[in-house]
Amino acid sequence: MSDLLHLLENTPFTSDLCVKCNICTAHCTVAPHTDLFPGPKHVGPQAQRMRQPGAPSVDHSVDYCSGCGICTLVCPHGVRVMEINTQAKAAMVETHGISLRNWFLGRNEVWGRLGTPFAPLLNFGTGNRVLRWAAEKTFRVSARAPLPRWAGYTFRGWWVRRQARRGIRGEKAAEACDPARTVVYFHGCATNAYEPHVGRTAIAVLEHLGFEVIVPPLRCCGLPMQSNGDFKAARHYARENVAWLEPYARRGIPIVGTAASCMMALKGDYIHILNMSDAATQAVAAGVWDFMEFLRHLHTIGRLDTNFRRIDRRLPYHAPCQLKAHGIGRPALDVLALIPGLEMEEIDADCCGICGTYGFKAEKRAISEAVGQPIVEHVRAGGHDQVVCDTETCRWQIRSLTGAETFHPVMLIAEAYGLRMAEIDDPPRQPGA
C-alpha cells in the first residue's frame, strides 16, 4: 500500500480531496425533504476542515444525515462523505452522551433475543395503535415505523437444535475445515429473531451446493450502534466478531451473509468508520461475501448449480444502499438472470429511507417516508405485489410503504431449486455427503 493510499484511507483526511462540486448535495436523499439538514458537503468535508480532533463536538445538523451513503458513492473525488458524517455523529455522542431512545435502537440484538419468548405479546403490542402512539410520545419511536414481528423462535436456537439432532456440538475449528467445501454463515440479528426462515433457506441453498456450513456464535455486527454514534459499543462487538472470524478468513473459508448491511459493516465500516485498521480486521474484510455475491462468484468459477426451475414472474428489485456500498454491482440481478422466465427490474431509487434505525425515529419518520416515495411510485405504477431486496430493514420499510410482500433474493433461488421449508428443517442427505 502506497503512502498516499494509507494517508487518504484515513476517513477524516479524505476531506482534502473535496473540490466543493456539490455532486453529493445534488444526490442527497435527505436534504430535499427537510430544512434541518444542510446537505452532505456542508456537514461532511466542509465542516470536517473546521473540526478539531479531541475538542468537544459543536455539531448538531449532522444528526439528520441518514447514513445512506449515496454521497460517498457519487463523489468522483474519493471523499468518504457518509463516513465522515458518521464519525462526526460519534463525536457528538462523545460530547453530549447518547439518548435513551438511540441506545435502545442500537440494541437490536438484545431486544430480538429477549423478546422471542414473548413474541405473541410483543407482536400484539407493536401492532396496537394505542400502544404505538404511547411509545412515540414517551420514547420518540415513530408510531408509523415498520417494527418487525418476532418469529417466536431464533435462527440460532433452530441451528443448535438441528446440529444436536445430527450429533454435532459447537462449531468446527477453522483448521479442521476443508476451505473448498466449507462456508461460514453470518446470520445477523434480524434473521435471528424476526426472519429465521431467511437463514434456514440460506443454509439449505449452501448445503444444496455441497457446502458444509458453519455458524459461529457471532454477535451483532455493530452497525445499529455505529449509526447512532455509539462507537465504543460498536467496536466491542466488532472485535468479538473479528476474533471469531479471523481463523476462518485466514484459512480462505468464505464468510457469507444474507444481511447485506451487516456484511458491509464487516467488509468496510469496521475499517473506514470505526477506524479498526489492524491486520485481523483487514483479513476478515477480504474474506466476507454478500450471499448473492457469493453465488455469482460460484457461477463464475463454474460451481453454481444452474439447474433452475422456471419462474414466470416479473419482479421489481431494490438494491439497498448498504449493498451499493459494497461496490460489487448488483449480484442479485446477475444471479437471478440465470433463472428461466424470471424478469427483474431495478427500481430507480437511491434509498428506501429507513437507513437502519433512522426511519424508526419519530422526528425523522416523515423524511424517511418521503425518501422512499420513488419506490412506492414504481411499485404502484407497475401494479406489483412483491418486491425483492437484500436487507431486512429495507424490506420492512418497503412493505410498510407499499403494502407489497418483500423478500430476500435467496428465497427465489430456493424456489428455483425446488427446496421446501420442510426439507430445509431436516434436509435429505446429499449423495456422497
Partner 1 sequence: MANLACDVLVIGGGATGVCAAYDLARRGLQVILADRNDLSTGTSGRFHGLLHSGGRYAVRDPESARECIAENRILRRIAPGIVEDTGGVFVAAPQDPPDYADQWVTACAAAGIETEEIAIPALRRREPALRPDLVRAFRVPDGSVDGFDLGHAFSRAAESYGARFLLYHRVTALAYTTDGMRATLNSADGTAVVVEARWVLNAGGPWAGEIAALAGHDLRVRWSRGVMIAMNIRWVNTVVNRLRPPDDGDIVVPVGTVSVIGTTSVAASSPDDNTIEPWEVSKMLDEGEALIAGFRTARALRAWSGVRPLYEPPGAAEEGADGRGLKRTFSVVRHGPGFTSVLGGKLTTARLMAEKAADDVCAGLGVDAPCTTAAEPLPAGTERRYHTLGHRLALLESGKMPGALICECEMITRPQLEEAIAAYDHVPALDDLRRDLRLGMGPCQGGFCAVRAAGILRQARDLPASEAVEALRVFVAERFKGGRPLLWGQHLRQFLLDEMIYRRILGLDACGDSRPAASLSLPPWATDETPIPAAAGQRVVVIGAGLAGLAAAVHAVQAGARVRVLAAGLGRLILTPGWFALGTFAAHPGVEAFRRWAAGQDLIRLAEGGRLPSLLGIPRTVDLAPEGLAAGAIDGATPVLIVGFAGWRDFDAALCSGMLAAAGVSCRAVSIDLPPRHEGWDLSPTELAHRFDDPAFRAEVAQRVRARLNGEARVGFPAVLGLHDPRVRAEMAAWIGVPVFEVPTLTPSVPGTRLYNTLKRWLLRQGAQVQVGHPVTRLIVEGDRVTGVAVASAGRETIFPGDAFILATGGLYGGGLLSDDRGHVWEPIAGLAVMAGDDRTAWFRDTLLDPAGHPVHTFGLRVDEALRPLNETGHPVCANLTVAGHALGGFSPLAGGYDEGLDLASAYAAVRAALQA
Nearest approach, Cβ of residue 13 and partner 1 (Å): 7
∠ Cα 225 323 353 (to 5°): 65
Instruction: Please identify, using beta-carbon distances, which residue of 55 and 279 lies nearer to partner 1.
Output: 55
| DSSP-assigned letter for residue 426 | S
Q: By three-state DSSP, how is residue 318 classified?
A: strand
Report residue 219 CA to chain centroid gap: 14
∠ Cα 255 256 260 (to 5°): 125
- List, in sequence order, every residue forming a beta bridge with 405; answer none if it has no partner: 386
Instruction: Please identify, using beta-carbon distances, which residue of 123 and 275 lies nearer to partner 1.
Output: 275
Q: At what angle do helices 196-208 and 155-165 cross, to 10 degrees?
A: 40
Nearest approach, Cβ of residue 150 and partner 1 (Å): 31
Find out whether 120 and 364 touch, Cβ atoms under 8 Å.
no
Tell me the C-alpha to C-alpha distance, in Å, between residue 318 and each of 96, 311, 370, 390.
36, 19, 16, 8
Nearest approach, Cβ of residue 334 and partner 1 (Å): 8
Instruction: Please identify, using beta-carbon distances, which residue of 29 and 357 lies nearer to partner 1.
Output: 29
Instruction: Please identify, using beta-carbon distances, which residue of 156 and 378 lies nearer to partner 1.
Output: 378
Instruction: Please identify, using beta-carbon distances, which residue of 151 and 184 lies nearer to partner 1.
Output: 184
Q: By three-state DSSP, how is residue 213 classified?
A: strand
DSSP result, 21-79: --HHHHH-SSGGG-SS---HHIIIIIHHTTPPTTSPP---GGGG-----HHHHH-TT--
Instruction: Please identify, using beta-carbon distances, which residue of 14 and 126 lies nearer to partner 1.
Output: 14
Tell me the C-alpha to C-alpha distance, in Å, between residue 371 and each of 27, 63, 352, 355, 389.
12, 16, 6, 10, 16
Instruction: Please identify, using beta-carbon distances, which residue of 178 and 348 lies nearer to partner 1.
Output: 348
Lookup: cell for 164: 444436536
Q: In terms of DSSP bridges, do strands 212-214 and 255-257 run parallel, antiparallel, or are they unpaired?
A: unpaired
C-alpha 422/C-alpha 383 separation (Å) is: 32
C-alpha 86/C-alpha 103 separation (Å) is: 16
Nearest approach, Cβ of residue 26 and partner 1 (Å): 3
Of 219, 388, 272, 260, give the one whose Cα is nearest residue 10: 272
Instruction: Please identify, using beta-carbon distances, which residue of 72 and 400 lies nearer to partner 1.
Output: 72
- List, in sequence order, every residue forming a beta bridge with 88; answer none if it has no partner: none
Lookup: cell for 124: 400484539
Q: How many CB atoms lie within 10 A of CB 276?
A: 19
Q: What is the largest CA-CA distance in the chain?
A: 64
Instruction: Please identify, using beta-carbon distances, which residue of 221 and 424 lies nearer to partner 1.
Output: 221
Nearest approach, Cβ of residue 59 and partner 1 (Å): 6
Instruction: Please identify, using beta-carbon distances, which residue of 260 and 419 lies nearer to partner 1.
Output: 260
Lookup: cell for 37: 439538514
Instruction: Please identify, using beta-carbon distances, which residue of 18 and 225 lies nearer to partner 1.
Output: 18
